[in-house]
Structure 1
Amino acid sequence: MSRRPTIADVAALAGVSRATVSFVLNDRPGVAAATQQRVRAAAKELGWTPSRSARSLSTGRAHAVGLVLSREPELIGTDPFYPAFMAGIESVISETGDGLMLHVCRPGDEEATYRRLDSDRRVDGVFLTDLRVDDPRLALVAELGLPAVVVGAVEGGTQLPTVNLDDRPVIRHAVRHLVELGHRDIAYVAGPEEFVHARRRRQAWADALTEAGLPAGSVLAGGFTAEGGARATQALLARSAPPTAIVYGNDLSATAGMAVAQEAGLRLPEDLSIVGFDDVPLASWTLPSLTTCRADPTSWGRAAALALVEVIERGTAEDVELDPATLLLRGSTGPAPVRGASA
């Protein structure tokens, strides 16, 4: 054929109506198996696939799922969590023929973004990530009737399906590891206080110090960014009695902290031990390699996508509890230095 084939061409070759072709290729019930086989064979022979717009009209669906990230656009490229998370999503929706619509909006524009996605019928459902304390999005998606899956735990619970990974045990494990190495002054560089998972990790660190019989440690904000991690590390090392170990809310701030410490002339781990969180690909290539907590964002994305597809198709899905994060011991942690010893 010199022109692009159409649904009418498929119908003519298969000897059925255009409606039957639409039913078969949109996986609707009620078409005999032999007819389905004939239609699919005709479509394959002609090299015809339904356009996304036509498919959306026939099914009443957008065939896309949404991920809205509320942060400054220039910060998106610096966060290694989301590329892996989105890869997990894509591994699922590539099989369903759906697409992922990513929206990056500045803080304050979030509600308008969700309302626009819903009113324009751009997506069939959304992922809610970076849960905040008293997060207004939970009520918003309920008001809109927009299918949604929550990625992470919600304080006080929610009626929406959740995909969660408990990150508290691994933080306590990291602190115990440092205590066993002789560290008694273990500081923490925290993520944004409004994020539920940032609060949980900080609280797990504080609880572990209490369990070890140690006094409360120093907490500085790092914001989950390299710049924040660097500033917090500089402030901690400038103290008259700096900590001998620092736990960071994520790997990005931890790797920046490592660079700051080494620039200050400290040896890792002889003078300072450092622990991160996430296990981004760079973590095993730093010098020394970074001891960190592996949370596997790809598996988060995959599980969240499976749950959202189920919510879209069936109206509900079971909560999913992923395997807990694990501590990966590498070169950035070692025995506590003896105070007053020469380098």
Structure 2
Amino acid sequence: MSEIESDAPPPRRPTMKDVAREAGVSTSAVSFALNDRPGVSDATRRRVIRVADRLGWRPSSAARALSGENAGAVGMVLARPADSLGGESFFLQLVSGIQASLAPRDQALVFQMVDDVQAECELYRRWWAQRRVDGVIVVDPRVSDPRPETLAVLGLPAVIIGGMEAPGNPGAPQLPRQARLSNIWADDSGAMDLIVRHLYGLGHRRIGHIAGTPGFAHTARRIASLRAAARRLGLDHAVSVTTDFTDRQGAKAARRLFSAPTPPTALICDNEVMAVAAVSVAAERGLLIPRDVSVVSWEDSPICHTLHPQLTALVRKADEFGGRAASELLALLDGSAPRQLQDPLPQLQPRESTGSPPGQ
């Protein structure tokens, strides 16, 4: 197949001067018309808008920043290693829901990954100075989290996804009254209680927990909730092992738990990627699921339905969760007061991977 050669220059973005020339008006008149400012007649405004649409003219974010207008974008930063996402579906669904809520308002989503929360705070400062975004969506609250204070000082509107309090920590720092921060959170303690009660009802008294990243507020809450449930129900063992959410560390944690003198008869995994890794490690050791060990995934996804045996999982609609967070941010940008919202408690969907422990 022969290559198509062309000496034609790449297409040039239309400018306000192009619109002015086509419409037969001055560039200042184009500016007044496109920014809905007085100074031109209605007929001229309509003509300019028609020409701009036909040429495909759009305002640049830099020009809007210089003029003091909104950036037309919101930011989202993920301070995790890129490989920690793996096949985890939660963030994909979350971002999908965020984008679905932003699209009708013609708001772009600026997404970036960084190494840690300090780099994330620096990025917020840079975005604020450049007027790159109008607000941000914050994920993965930490036990000691500098981001809320940073955003409050900048005056940058934000919605924090996830509870900001963790055991032994007073929660988010005391913020200035003018802080424009809303919070939408899920009940991790209630969700853990659902899982433990299900396993307890099947007869399990030794439960292992392959937890997420240490330092994350939701990881601390889940670990503390498991311990509280163990005390309340009189479980023999309830052990949590922290990871980075990857299948590699999930498998390592499963091997550690299975090698204990009294291994667990049930595992709770903080995402479906680690749940699948735990199932694989069980197979390596000749353990059958659920005859020898039961497995529960904190997140549900198609992989939980297609794996054999199918994984018992918490079912929550991450896309709707993300959509609500984006809607809250848009409300802040429209001048609404900050508020805190609790997301509906997820439902536990029992499947083939959980059953009675050995000997029952």
Give TM-score scaled by structure 2 length. 0.82
1:198 and 2:207 are equivalent in the alignment:
no
Give the direction of change, closer, same or farther, for the CA distance of 1:103–1:5 in structure 2 (3 Å limit).
closer
SS in structure 2 at match of 1:275: strand
| Gap change, CA 1:235 and 1:3, over 3 Å in 2 | closer
Residue equivalent to 1:64:
73
For the aligned residue pairs, the C-alpha RMSD in angstroms reads 3.0
User: Which position in structure 2 is the counterpart of 1:123?
Assistant: 133
Find the partner of 1:304 among 325, 339, 356: 325
* CA distance 1:51–1:123, shift in 2 (3 Å): closer
1:157 offset after TM fit, Å?
A: 5.4
Are 1:10 and 1:21, in contact at CA under 8 Å, matched by a contact in 2?
Answer: no
Q: Counterparts of 1:6 and 1:293 in 2: how far apart (Å)? A: 51
1:273 to 294, 298, 310: 294
Measured in 1, the distance between the counterparts of 2:43 and 2:147 equals: 47
Task: Please list every run of 5 or more consecutive structure 2 residues that lacks an aligned counterpart in the other structure.
Answer: 1-10, 176-180
Structure 1 residue 8: deviation in Å?
Answer: 6.8
Within the candidate set 90, 100, 103, 2:99 is matched to 90
Paired residues of 1:279 and 1:296 also in contact (CA < 8 A):
no
Bigger shift: residues 126-135 or 319-328: 319-328
User: 1:185: Cα distance to partner?
Assistant: 1.2
Q: Distance in 2 between matches of 1:69 and 1:295?
A: 21
* Residue among 99, 118, 121 paired with 2:108: 99
* 1:181 counterpart residue number: 202
Aligned runs of 1:297-336 on 2, under 5 Å?
A: 297-314=318-335, 316-336=337-357
Secondary structure, in 3 states, of the residue corresponding to 2:223?
helix
Do 1:22 and 1:58's aligned partners in 2 also have CA atoms closer than 8 Å? no
Q: State which drifts further: 112-121 or 210-219.
A: 210-219
Matches within 5 A, 1:35-46: none
Measure, in 1, the Cα distance between the counterparts of 2:306 and 2:115.
33
Structure 1 position 171, deviation (Å) = 1.6
Q: 2:185 aligns with which of 150, 164, 177?
A: 164
| TM-score w.r.t. length of structure 1 | 0.85
Shift of 1:174: 1.2
SS at match of 1:247: strand
Give the secondary-structure state (helix, strand or coil) at the position aligned to 2:334. Answer: helix
Aligned length: 335
Cα distance change of structure 1 residues 36 and 261 upon mapping to structure 2, 3 Å threshold? farther
Cα distance in 1 for residues equivalent to 2:85 and 2:286: 31
Query: Are the equivalent residues in 2 in contact too, given 1:222–1:253 (CA < 8 A)?
Result: no
Select 2:308's aligned residue among 280, 284, 287: 287
